[in-house]
Structure 1
Amino acid sequence: MEIINFSEYIPELVSVSMIAIFMAISPGADFVMITRNSIFFSRKAGIFSSLGVSAALWLHITYSIAGLAVIISKSILLFSIIKYLGAAYLIFIGWQTFKSKSDIEICGTTGSMSSFSAFKIGFITNALNPKATIFFLSIFTQVVKPETPIAIQIMYGAIISFTHLIWFTCVAIFLTQPKLLKAFTKSKNTIEKLVGGVLVAFGVKVATHSGS
């Protein structure tokens, strides 16, 4: 059994960790969806959506380690399927939020969304994000060396997934603070339209983005 010298991979580890932090905190569809589920439903919904995002990242990690990220990014058909499904999902959720009749109470502690539904929304949002495919392609082809052991690559994946889980869980907890929820309640209609509009905009952007 080959003994891995972890010190050899410290530069890679630092690079992947820094990229993971940047990837997590960068505003995107995941952030907006976590925001939506947290303030319109509950803190618990936001946290389970965070778990969904974290789990979906393992899908990207798995096919990247297997070398399939290159195939997906180079296949117009496969990449287009992912792109348009992701765009349609974001537009659908965004439109549902936008046209809400304000019957959703902003409370942050109780809500009608089940834990499974919240997890599923987070998972699908990230799994169908074509930008995630490109992101992992760049990491596992430009940052991680081909000779890096699979065990080390899995560790990198765990860092990326855990970083997202921690960040989005913190976002869900922060957004459901009583004082913030009270302020959100006063502008519920505006927030619904804003969040819905942003999700639709993300969906349109994904659908019309031609780069791969």
Structure 2
Amino acid sequence: MSIEFLLTTLIIVASPGTGVVYTLAAGLSRGARASLLAAFACTLGIVPHLIAALTGLAALLHASALAFMIVKYLGVAYLLYMAWQSLRENGALKVEPGTDQRSALKIVVDGVLVNILNPKLSIFFVAFLPQFISPGDPSPLSSMLELSGVFMAMTFVIFAVYGVFAAAMRERVVSRPAVMAWMRRTFAAAFVMLGARLALTER
């Protein structure tokens, strides 16, 4: 495994995106446990893209403009839904003292959907990871799984760091209604911008 792969993966994972924004929101509104659940959910949302890449579905997504557009606009719609939920006092940024079983399940489902509905992830596994597999590799499938495992592990760790940091700032935020209102608007705007960026994304 090359240092170039590790550095490139670190840059990709650490760059603010839907998963990072979602994990930060979970940490600020529900605490450290929720942020770890969100990080886990976003990581879990990578698995379908990996499976798609291994079975050739990602290549179809890359080749078919219609399939790519369908998944892309489903993702845009879901990000706009997350923005709307962020603005509501009883929505995604509802402040809760803890994370019960029902809210924990919702955190996981939302986190998985945030990543599943991002077609660029599937193309990432088709176009990016194979660059780090030697043409003469006797077991390219094993190498692909190894690189994917490292990518997912790095995703979970970095997202968890983001989320736990947000949770540490939680007490300073939730005790101030004006700050909470500003935070809701900020996260809603972030989801809208991410949706707009996804809408403008080409294959």
TM-score by length of structure 1 reads 0.83
RMSD over aligned CA atoms reads 2.2
What is the number of residues matched between the two proteins? 196
State the alpha-carbon separation in 1 of the partners of residues 28 and 147 from structure 2: 32
Residue 187 of structure 2 aligns to which amino acid in structure 1?
Answer: V
Using the TM superposition, name which of 164-173 and 110-119 deviates more.
110-119
C-alpha distance after superposition, 1:156-193 (max 9, x if no partner)? 1110111001111111111111xx22332331110011
**Does the CA-based 8 Å contact 2:130-2:144 persist in structure 1?**
no
TM-score by length of structure 2 reads 0.86
- Specify which of 165, 168, 174 is matched with residue 165 of structure 2: 174
State the alpha-carbon separation in 2 of the partners of residues 140 and 198 from structure 1: 28
Cα deviation, residue 100, structure 1? 3.2
Cα deviation, residue 59, structure 1? 1.6
Taking the TM superposition and a 5 Å limit, the aligned residue runs for 1:115-126 are 115-126=104-115
Correspondence 1:158 to 2:146: no
C-alpha distance after superposition, 1:88-126 (max 9, x if no partner)? 111001112124379933x6x524662221111111101
Residue 98 of structure 2 aligns to which amino acid in structure 1?
Answer: T
| Matching residue of 2:45 | 56
Correspondence 1:200 to 2:192: yes
State the alpha-carbon separation in 2 of the partners of residues 111 and 74 from structure 1: 42
Where does the alignment leave 5 or more consecutive residues of structure 1 unmatched? 1-9
Correspondence 1:72 to 2:61: yes
Larger radius of gyration: 1
**Does the CA-based 8 Å contact 2:30-2:167 persist in structure 1?**
no
Taking the TM superposition and a 5 Å limit, the aligned residue runs for 1:22-171 are 22-100=11-89, 104-105=94-95, 110-111=98-99, 114-145=103-134, 148=137, 149=139, 150-171=141-162
